[in-house]
Amino acid sequence: MEECCSTKPKKEHNHEGHDHDHGHSHDTGDQSVFQMFLPAVVSFALLLIGIALDYYIKPGWFTGWVRLVWYLVAYIPVGLPVLKEAYESITKGDVFSEFFLMGIATVGAFAIGEYPEGVAVMLFYSVGEVFQAMAVTRAKSNIKSLLDQRPDEVTVLKDGKPETVKAEKVNIGDIIQLKSGEKLGLDGELLSETASFNTSALTGESKPDTKTKGETVLAGMINLNTVSQVKVTTAYKDSKLSKILELVQNATAQKAPTELFIRKFAKIYTPIVVFLAIGITLLPYLFVEDYQFKTWLYRALVFLVISCPCALVISIPLGYFGGIGAGSRNGILFKGSNFLDVLANVQNVVMDKTGTMTEGVFKVQQVDFSTEYNKDEILKLVNALESKSSHPVATAIHEYVGEIDHSIPLENVEEIAGQGLKATINGKELLVGNFKLMDVFNISHSINPEKIVYTLIAVAYDKKFVGYLTIADSIKTDAQLTINKLKSLGVKTTMLSGDKTSVVQYVADTLGIQNAYGDLLPEDKVNKVKEIKAKNQTVAFVGDGVNDAPVVALSDVGIAMGGLGSDATIETADVVIQDDMPSKIPMAINIGKQTKKIVWQNITLAFAIKAIVLVLGAGGLATMWEAVFADVGVALLAILNAVRIQRMKF
């Protein structure tokens, strides 16, 4: 019973259907809607004719075995598949399944001569199953659209001639020729001078992205204009899109507490219901004077139909799956439904600065060197030393100074963590880094770094202070909107950064972030998050998911500004924002809140209606028709409510 109506996708690359572990399938495959409804249509037509013959036309021949056979023929198209499922469930040790409940209820109805009601219960149940299958397919459609973004074949240039080959057989280093309108099958490096791409498959952003020669292009991007050439840098199975697809496919494996509870509840609840039904049938014999077995059996059968927990075990996983699908549609990847629950109740969003709230693209603003030094010569030395670092600051200096002079004889190059770089040139020591580096090497200076807002890169040569460069990083366009929305959701905001305190405080003040701390090492960030958690408050940490791994691990949910970034980001975070837009943080929280709201609406609806009709059924005040509504009707209402999240604007 626990797997009944789960939406867990198979791990193989078969994305066409929806299978359950116990064999129950909602795989719509290539079936048309008509084919899916055909058994129900046949059954419904025969049922209507049977009711007309029973209650209106009343021919003399429509009695006895003729009437029984007629309703049996009406029952078989919808009943046989369910009875088969019940048998298969029993052979696998799952006796108390929903199929077993529906089977004994309808067979029992036939046994006491209530043929139309037996057919009607199974008919409406089957219609509910079809609607469920359609709802699951719809809930998966946003995710499946991702699966269609990766072409199976690509055009590879071999000896200058184009040749079509399977994408998984392409080797690293091969050259792919990409025509206008074609999707790229593998990650690579652009060889053409420029090319424009539609990146919506990866980012949700429809705006064209122009790439230049040497830049990275990713599987799933669509070439928009001229024929382009791409050198493959990553194997098919390791591409960014493959990682994303794998993440989405396995997303429902991580169950939310509510979902896990309902599955456990159904496992205990169903056998209790069966034994209660037996009690309703037999116990009145001891207490009722004019006991009639048929009457109390009918009441027990009504009780069984009402008590089937379909609405819960269908709609709750479907609600969470819908939330994951809504996230995917908006470029937010949840690694499991449990993270939707955590985000729905999150109290603090703790964020990194660089690359999260700022662009992470540094530019040199000012060079302030002592006049006794040749500014251009020192900048050449600094540029040569910074070429040994992959830090964004090094890129900014390289863009400002220009080409690196490789003739400069750098010796004993050393990177000092959190401080900067050191090297020897012609026997003279060159230091490039923050002012902490100057203090460590006892370089005297008269600068007060705290009075300068920008990031400072200090330079010392031959034991003397030369001066500094100021470097600035621009705030992202939607950063202000992000903080405003988080405040409106009642979420507290904190910024933690390794950058200098004055810069961090400036960004925080500009955006209205409540708390900000700079000059932090990774372990300092961990301590700050521990302080928040010590107050029994939930924390979502937003960063790059790699350098901040200790904080991500400590937080209740780690959100990575993954963009089109590293594989490690996609793998380590709980939630990945694909397009680096911070405004997706409040959106993710809102999706979590709406998903949880819908799930609890369904739980309340199912329990309330079932409780009322169960009491009426046990007391003989509800017929099979009310039972059908309490079971299938509530399930359909819950499904319709669950798929609502697909239409919501966040």
What torsion, rounded to 10 degrees, do the Cα atoms 488, 492, 497, 502 define?
A: 80
**Cα radius of gyration (the chain):** 33
| Pairing assessment for the beta strands 332-334 and 575-577 based on DSSP bridges | antiparallel
CB 325: neighbour CB atoms within 10 A? 27
Cβ atoms of 520 and 496 closer than 8 Å:
yes
Angle CA(586)–CA(565)–CA(396) in degrees, nearest 5?
100
Q: How would you class 523 by CB atoms within 10 Å of its CB: exposed for 0-12, middle for 13-18, buried for 19 or more?
A: exposed
Let me know if 352 is a catalytic residue: yes
Cβ atoms of 397 and 469 closer than 8 Å:
yes
Which phi and psi angles does 26 have, rounded to 5°?
Answer: -110, 35
Cβ atoms of 370 and 462 closer than 8 Å:
no
Distance CA 429, CA 411 (A): 9
Distance CA 99, CA 102 (A): 5
> Which residue is catalytic, options 94, 209, 341, 352?
352
Give first-to-last CA distance, the chain, whole Å: 34
Distance CA 278, CA 275 (A): 5
The closest alpha carbon to 578, from 568, 569, 590, belongs to 569
- Residues β-bridged to residue 75: none
Cβ atoms of 219 and 188 closer than 8 Å:
no
DSSP E strand boundaries for 426-545: 428-433, 455-461, 464-475, 492-496, 515-517, 539-543
The closest alpha carbon to 155, from 209, 216, 232, belongs to 232
Q: How far is CA 177 from CA 2, 183, 184, 200, 404, in A?
A: 49, 11, 9, 21, 33
DSSP 3-state of 70: helix
Catalytic residues: 352
